[in-house]
Amino acid sequence: MHTRGWFILGFAGLLLFYAFDEFRQTHWRSAFGAVAGLLAIGLWLLLTKAAGLCGVLNLNRLGNCRNDINGLFFGCERAKNHYWLRPLGFVGLGRKPKPSRKNAGASESESEPALVAPTQAVADTTPHRILFYATMVSTTFAVVSGLTDLLTFFGKDGA
């Protein structure tokens, strides 16, 4: 487990050195790509290690899953399919809320409050959703920048 941490720290240090060197040489595209890579590493660590609640829409009972999760990306592993339904719910492919049905025999004057059906596939706050999309954008930008740097490096002539 510690080896993985040292690897991530070493890779981040290498990206930091590369970013400073590219800024010094005024290669802006490569430098901003390295900064995006550093941002992506930090956001992925936050997205996979921060504590939170699952929040995936339950099928058999009203509401969302309240199990604890380690990381904000994947759902809990205790309920069936919640592990992948959380990231799918972020992009709109998760479980859809069932349409709310009104009881035909119930009168409007009853003192019991009506249960409100959830309206989202994943019960989440806006900061979690922003964190998810910021991670995806910075990762994409860093990968594209890194690939163009590699293609430029290997595409140079020996002359």
Q: For 46-66, how does the pLDDT look when each residue is reduced to its tens digit (9 = 90+)?
A: 888 888 888 887 777 777 888
DSSP H or E stretch at residue 96? none
Confidence of residue 148 (pLDDT cuts 50, 70, 90): confident
Average pLDDT, the chain: 76
Rounded distance between C-alpha atoms, residue 159 and residue 20, angstroms: 27
The residue whose two tokens read 């140079």 is 156
- Predicted confidence (pLDDT) per residue in 71-125, tens digit: 888 888 877 778 888 878 777 776 666 555 555 455 555 555 555 555 566 666 6
Torsion of CA 48, 56, 51, 88, to 10 degrees: 10
pTM for the whole structure? 0.64
